[in-house]
Amino acid sequence: MLHIDQTADFGNALLAGDNSRAAAAFDENMAHMMHVADTLSQGIITQFPDAF
């Protein structure tokens, strides 16, 4: 699932008042973004090892 779809699912769940679905969508979205952040961080560290 794409990030935008996860974000839309979260927003739609909130608007529908489905808090359990909103929480699950938020958790899924957060896990995805943490993976993206880890990948970007590792690339920056690999490219500029002397800065870390």
Question: What string of DSSP letters covers 14-29?
Answer: HHHT-HHHHHHHHHHH
State the residue range of the domain holding 27: 3-47
| CA separation for the pair 30, 16 (Å, rounded) | 21
Residue 16 forms part of a structural domain:
yes
* pLDDT value of position 43: 97
pLDDT band at residue 25 under the 50/70/90 scheme: very high
Q: Tell me, what's the pLDDT at 32?
A: 93
Q: According to the model, what pLDDT value does residue 5 have? A: 94
Q: Are 25 and 15 in contact (CB under 8 A)?
A: no
- Structural domains of the chain, count: 1
What percent of the chain is modeled with pLDDT above 90?
92
Residue 52 placed within a domain: no
Say yes or no to pLDDT of 2 above 90. no
